[in-house]
Structures are given as C-alpha cells and as structure tokens.
C-alpha cells in the first residue's frame, strides 16, 4: 500500500516575488516548496506534480486567483488539492466568493506568521488523513490488493480508453478451485492465509511482466485482472504463468478433484477495442468463460475473443 509522503509539497502562487519569498522562508523547513508567478503556471504545476496544498493569491494579471481556483476544482486531476487564499482582499464578500469556489481557508494580508504556519499544518494533517482513508478504501483489507470498488472505477476508464484508441483490453476472472471445501475442512484461518498467498502470487506474476496492469479481489475467492494492449500470445503466456505460480505455492488441498494442491481456473474476455460492445459484456463473457473452464475440469484457462 502506498505510503504518505514524509515531506508534503506546497505550491505558492503569487505574482509578487517578495510575497513568495516571505511564505517560502516561513515554510521551507517543514515542506517541499514549489512556486508559480502566474495562474497558468500554477495550473501546469498542479497537473504535472504531486501537490499537497496550494497557497494562492487573488490579485494576479491575466488570470486571477478565483479563476485559477475554479479551473483546478473543475479538473478531475486537481480537484482534491486543498487551496488557501492568501490575499490583501479582506472583505466578507471576497472571502465568501473564495470559499464558494472550493477553497478550504482564506487568510488576509498582512498575516501573522505563526497563524499561517498553524493553519497550513492543520490543513496538511487533514489532507494526509483524507488521503490515507482514500487509499484504504481502494484496498482489500485481507489481501492488501485493490478491491472491487477500485476495479469498477479503473475498468470503466480502461474500457473507454480502449474504444478511443482502438486497442485491446483483456479481462481475466480468476476463481480458486473448490475453495468452499478447503475452508470447511481446513478452517477459515487457513482459508484466509491461502487467499493472501494466491493474491500475492497473481500480483507478482503480473508485476514481473507489466507494471501497469491491475489485480483486484473481486469478492470471496474470486480475483480479477485487467490488462491493456496485449497480444494474444502474451495473454496466453501470462495466464499460464498465473496457473504455474499458484501450483508452485504447493498449498495442500486433499478435498479438490482438480489437483492435490490448491489451483485456480481462469476465464478471459479479450476485447479488441473496435467493436461496439457494452463494457458489461466483458464481465459477462469472462464469467461465462470461467464457468466453461470449471465445467471442463478446472485448473486451466480459456480465452473468448470479442
């Protein structure tokens, strides 16, 4: 699971270099400081780097702070970056407008340095907690791989990317063979241990070949793998490697008719990106293909081309 950055990054946005230097000098010992002297530059940095907090002036030429804030909050990539306005505008109307645009705080100049440091510190702590909760919500607690919720989000994005780029998208549905009798006879503690080992083996197999692929726990003893832009030969190779990686675990299973050790069955839907097929069809076909593998003896894989 990703770790929270030990030194948060703050972007200071102001067209006056004096103001930038004051804030930078105030915060540089505790934070990694980035600077932008225009709204456009601020947007560019926010979109290309990992920014934890933005200190934003309002009075700037060409694009003022309100416009910058609105732009960042309307972007999927930058909408969750906390923004604090630091400005000479001190009317309640100005403050209300800034907060309505999505800023989390509003500090007027001249400011108290101690108060600024404390407000920044508190907002950074809040963001770290929010980021951690968001990360945890994407992971399955038992296996420590991505969960069904995260898969659903990435699957939708990947499907439309495949349609747009006319590249293929492979969806693997993986099920542990005879897992219920394994649980019933060896106990749920051993079952949980097996789930952890299987998920790690699948994940390591994918990471050793293609770092951008997704492995997630789909539910119960089912896992799902999403692979972009892959040849049929490579897809066959990866499926075989997953089967082999599970066999090599040598998890004893005396209650399986597929093998003396724990095994998996894999159903694969391979979508070429050129057809007008709804994304739900990939899930349906991968599931149907999985059941064909199970019906034919398990411990194997089958690919359905769409």
Q: Which residues are catalytic?
A: 221
Cα–Cα separations (whole angstroms), residue 98 to 58, 91, 132, 147: 9, 11, 27, 36
- As a whole number of angstroms, the distance between CA 295 and CA 192 comes to 26
Contact status, residue 176 vs residue 264, Cβ threshold 8 Å: yes
- As a whole number of angstroms, the distance between CA 192 and CA 82 comes to 39
Helix (H, G, I), strand (E, B) or coil at 34: strand
Whether the link from the prior residue into 110 is cis, omega within 30° of 0, is yes
- As a whole number of angstroms, the distance between CA 2 and CA 13 comes to 28
Helix (H) or strand (E) holding 267: strand 264-271
Contact status, residue 242 vs residue 265, Cβ threshold 8 Å: no
Backbone angles phi, psi at 59, to 5 degrees: -80, 95
In sequence order, what DSSP letters do the residues of 124-188 get, joined into one string?
Answer: HHHHHHHHHHHHHHTB-TTT-SB-HHHHHHHHHHHHHHHHHHT--EEEEEEEETTHHHHHHHH-H
């Amino acid at each position: 699971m990703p770790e929270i950055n030990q030194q948060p990054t703050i972007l200071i946005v102001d067209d006056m270099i004096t103001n930038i230097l004051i804030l930078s000098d105030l915060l540089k010992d505790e934070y990694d400081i980035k600077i932008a002297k225009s709204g456009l530059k601020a947007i560019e940095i926010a979109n290309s780097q990992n920014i934890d907090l933005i200190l934003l002036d309002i009075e700037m030429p060409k694009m003022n702070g309100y416009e910058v804030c609105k732009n960042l909050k309307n972007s999927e990539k930058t909408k969750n970056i906390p923004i604090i306005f630091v400005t000479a505008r001190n009317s309640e109307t100005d403050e209300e407008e800034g907060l309505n645009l999505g800023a989390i705080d509003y500090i007027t100049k001249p400011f108290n340095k101690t108060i600024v440091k404390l407000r920044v510190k508190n907002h950074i702590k809040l963001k770290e907690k929010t980021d951690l909760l968001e990360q945890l919500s994407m992971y399955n607690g038992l296996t420590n791989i991505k969960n069904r919720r995260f898969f659903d989000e990435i699957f939708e994005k990947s499907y439309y990317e495949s349609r747009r780029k006319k590249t293929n998208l492979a969806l693997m549905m993986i099920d542990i063979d005879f897992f219920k009798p394994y649980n019933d006879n060896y106990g749920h503690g051993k079952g949980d241990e097996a789930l952890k080992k299987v998920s790690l083996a699948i994940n390591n197999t994918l990471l050793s070949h293609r770092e951008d692929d997704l492995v997630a726990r789909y539910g119960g003893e089912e896992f799902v793998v999403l692979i972009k832009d892959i040849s049929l030969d490579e897809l066959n190779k990866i499926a075989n490697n997953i089967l082999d990686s599970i066999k090599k675990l040598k998890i004893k299973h005396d209650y399986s008719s597929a093998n003396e050790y724990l095994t998996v069955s894999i159903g694969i839907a391979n979508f070429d990106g050129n057809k007008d097929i709804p994304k739900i069809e990939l899930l349906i076909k991968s599931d149907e293909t999985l059941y064909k593998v199970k019906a034919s003896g398990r411990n194997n894989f089958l690919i359905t081309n769409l």
